Every structure is written in structure tokens, then in C-alpha cells.
Structure 1
């Protein structure tokens, strides 16, 4: 039981800035094997994040107009995650949209400075996400609970199925090291959207899977693998694709 708790704690501390009661257990002493095993908990950390956002939103959408409440919800999500995946989104956009060769793209992605394409990607995604939340959160508040889980499940699949693009970095430590049992455990998080929305849920998941496979394959073909920044890019993009698919399919 303690082993499972340590894995869960590692995932929470890595993916969020949530104050944790036992910070001495997980991340102060890095354990590579435990870090790999913790990956299967990423979708469930997403549910934790979504639960906090859902509770937060229940009050905000009562007190404020939907556009204002949606901005505050997005800011709350950034505060919870520390903007971890947004950083990956911007770095990946800078590299992938640079039009350079593989090595130069990897250098750009590793640069801590944000370029024009990174800013454009962030602003575009933030605006789209805000407009979608303004439209659907009042009608379908459970989207907030499920959205972060879908994003982090996309990360799990990317980690499991694509090789690392570099010889060092986070991707090397975890890419391709997930067992089929770990992948199955992560996929059980899909029970929630499928149980809530049934056929609509199946369609939403299939759309998300197809679009995110296309994005991951595009990155793989361009730089020969995925990086830690790529995982963040896929997580953030998957959340928006999930909202887009939900808006379209729920209207059927």
C-alpha cells in the first residue's frame, strides 16, 4: 500500500503545485523506477485537478457571468499546475513551427525563452479554451471534471507509444517503459466519461484519440520522437480538442 501511495504522491507532486502533507517522501529523493510507475496515475491526478476546478466553478458561475467565470477557472487551472504543460506547449510550438531541421528544432524547444510562435499558440489556445468553457460549463459542468484527465491520459499514451527524441531529459527516463498493465490501469480513467455520456462519451473519446494521434505522429515524424515539452503540448491540446468534440457531439 505504501508503494502505491508513493507512486500517487510522485504523480501529484510532479504534475501540480498542490501543497502535499508529506513532501519528504517522493520528489526530494528521485527514484527513476517510481517515477515511471507513477505515470499510470496521471489521468487520476487529472481527475483531482478537475474536481478542484469543478468545485471552484460551482461558485464562480453563480456569482459571475460565464465569460468572467471561465477566465477565473482557467487561471485556477494554471495556478494548480504551475503552468507546467503550457510551457511545453509554447516550447513545442516554437520548435515545430520554426521550419528548421531536426537538430535546430530540438535546440529551439530546449531554449527557455519563448518565441513568437509560442506566444501565438498560447494566446490562440487560451482564447479557444475560454470561449468553449463559456459556452458549455453551465450546461455540462462535468466537463471540467473530465477535461484534465483526458489531457493527462494523452500524455500516458504518448509516453508509452513513442520513443524519446533526445538522448537525455525526461523523455528518456520514461518513454517506452510503461507495461501493458500500467497502460490498462491508466485507461480505466475513461470509465468516467463513458459512464456519464455513454455513446456520446465513446464518440468524444474516439475523436480525441484520432486528433491526438495525428498531432503526436506529426511531432514524431518531424523530430524523430517526443520530448517532455511534447507531452505538455499534447496535454494542453487534448483538453481543447476534448472541449471541441464535446460541444459538437453533445449537440447531436
Structure 2
């Protein structure tokens, strides 16, 4: 029986890469700010993702490329410290991007509300709901389309506020009124509002994906990991050499 003895002197064993590629939610192209007219808030989000993408790639490439003047334990510590520092910067950038997006979303939505002018006239409530309730379904749909086209937004606001059993509208018809009005009065603003909402969702996707990403970048760098890595490598080498005899 061959007895394998692991040398007491640890050798330096480089870290492997954490992954083959940075998680796709961090790609800056996920937020197409140019399609939204170069919106500054969305560009900030894209820039934050670009920073995270580049930093993660840099750390991932650095893991297996140890400075020849360093021992593996030192290299591990430097990687660990860089990951911690990068994660703090990333969290700050993400918080700022969230705040900017929320403020921009609120600004755009206020403009849309003003453009829509959906303010009802209580004096006309009974007349409008009664008229719609007495219509046949097809006539309701046709009249609703006419009101949108004619810009009768006060009447439309009444139909939005009225219970369905009073207006006779379907829930889908009532819920579509605001969007149909906005598409008519400010289609660019509505598109921007939608793009901002998508950008926020992409930002949250990136935030969630980054938790695992930073953990992977830091994996194997904890104190003592370098010595364990060296012992395992030595044992593998000894076993391979013994098998060749």
C-alpha cells in the first residue's frame, strides 16, 4: 500500500475564477436610455450597471492572477478586501440610482396627470352614469372611444370613478380609460413613464443578482482558505505521482 505524505510547507495555489461571465442582469445594455431620448435618470442606471459589470469582471480576472511577490494568503486577503469595498460602492450607487429613478418617475407621472386633466364634475355624475347604464354593450364601447377622441376628459373621469354597476362598463373598459387618454394627449410622456418603470425593474434584478455575484467573487478567500487549498493541491499531486509508479 502506498502511503501519501503531504508536505508541511504550503505552496501557493492561485484562486480560480468565480464564474465564466458576470450575471446578465448587470449588463448596462439592459437599460436602453437612448431609446428613451437619452433620459438622464435612465443613463445613471445604465452607468451604475456598467460600473458593476466592469468591476466584477476585473475582480474575476484578478482572482487567478496573483502578484508574484505575494503569497496566496495575502492575495486572498486583497481579493476579499476589494470585494467588500466594491460591494459598499455598489450599494451606494444603487441607492442613488433608485432615488433618481423614483424622483424622475414622480415628475413624469405628475406631468401626465396634468396633461390628462381627468377631473370629474360631480354635477354631471348621475346623468353620465345613467346614460351609460342604459346603453347596449356595443354602444358603450363606441361612445367611450368617441369621448376619448373628443377629449371629453371630465366625463371620462366620472366613468373612471363610478362603480361598475352604475356605469355598466366592464372592468377592462374602465381600467383602460386613463391609458387611452394618455396615449392621445402625451404619448411620449407615457412611453417614458413605462421605460422608467422597466428601468427600475432592471435595477432591482441587478441588485438581486449582485448578492450571489459578490458572494461568488469572495468565495475561497476567507482566512485559512489558502492553506487548505495548498494542502489539497499537494495531496492531489502526491496521489498522481504515486499512481504513476
Tell which has more relative contact order, 1 or 2 (C-alpha 8 A, sep 6+): 2
Instruction: Report the structure number with the largest CA radius of gyration.
Output: 2
Query: Do both proteins adopt the same fold according to a TM-score greater than 0.5, normalized to the shorter chain?
Result: no
| TM-score with structure 1 setting the length | 0.25
| TM-score with structure 2 setting the length | 0.25
